[in-house]
Structure 1
């Protein structure tokens, strides 16, 4: 049976909850519709997060992203909605979503939204000799 788009994000337990580590996911085929013209908008999404107790399950993420294909949304709104939904299910220590939209009318748009848990600071990078 073919898959269907879904707004249900699933998670699994972080296998290393006592360690800060970064998960990076590139989603090069994001599509939604321009709410003014109804024409498709294309973007590459770059998701970067430091999990706490849960990680997002990738197939569920794929189906979730697919659910935006026929939805009209401004770039700023859709980027922040996706980020809010990921925060709601994962509650990561840190998360950043960068949405790089393809050119439309000679204009490129990149929207960057991020969240960090209170009192969580990015660990310092150790410079090796």
Structure 2
């Protein structure tokens, strides 16, 4: 059962208030990769309160469920007014998805735009990808005026 799909849903005020919906995996017993890309992710610097921007890429191999995309968009959008370091945002997103969805495998890349002249890229995954699953490069180049 989903709470968001087909319903009017407001942006949650915080990531903790966001509810992620999960639906049954339509291809149980078959390993395949799902990729979500959020090129306009925003959060706030916990020190200055200024906005931080990132290109987030989430890859996962589903277990019994898949995350419903509208609820994921609302969850990611809830970081807009959330103050946290890049590392906390990136890894926290992955940890929450793993804890609730229990995928076979998950990796997340947070490609953060520079502040103070230094871009920060954060990567986390649950372990080695399953054998036989095609895991393409995340496609985000090293920073050279990322756009």
Q: TM-score range by the shorter chain?
A: 0.7 to 0.9
Q: Structure 2 CA distance, aligned partners of 1:67 and 1:107?
A: 25
Report the equivalent of 1:22: 33
RMSD: 1.8
| Moved segments of 4+, more than 2 Å | 1-6
Report the equivalent of 2:75: 64
Gap regions ≥5 residues in structure 1: none
How many Å apart are 1:121 and its aligned residue?
5.5
Report the equivalent of 1:109: 120
Matched, 1:3 2:10: yes
How many Å apart are 1:78 and its aligned residue?
1.1
Summarize the alignment of residues 74-85 of structure 1 with structure 2, pairs less than 5 Å apart. Answer: 74-85=85-96
Q: Secondary structure at the match of 1:55?
A: strand
Report the equivalent of 1:122: 130
Scaled by the length of structure 1, the TM-score of the pair is 0.88
How many Å apart are 1:88 and its aligned residue?
1.6
Gap regions ≥5 residues in structure 2: 1-7, 135-147
1:12-58 residue CA offsets vs partner (Å, 9 max, x unmatched): 00011110000011011111000111100000100000001010000
Q: Secondary structure at the match of 1:19?
A: coil
Q: Structure 2 CA distance, aligned partners of 1:2 and 1:83?
A: 23
Aligned residues: 123
Scaled by the length of structure 2, the TM-score of the pair is 0.78
Report the equivalent of 2:46: 35
Q: Secondary structure at the match of 1:69?
A: helix
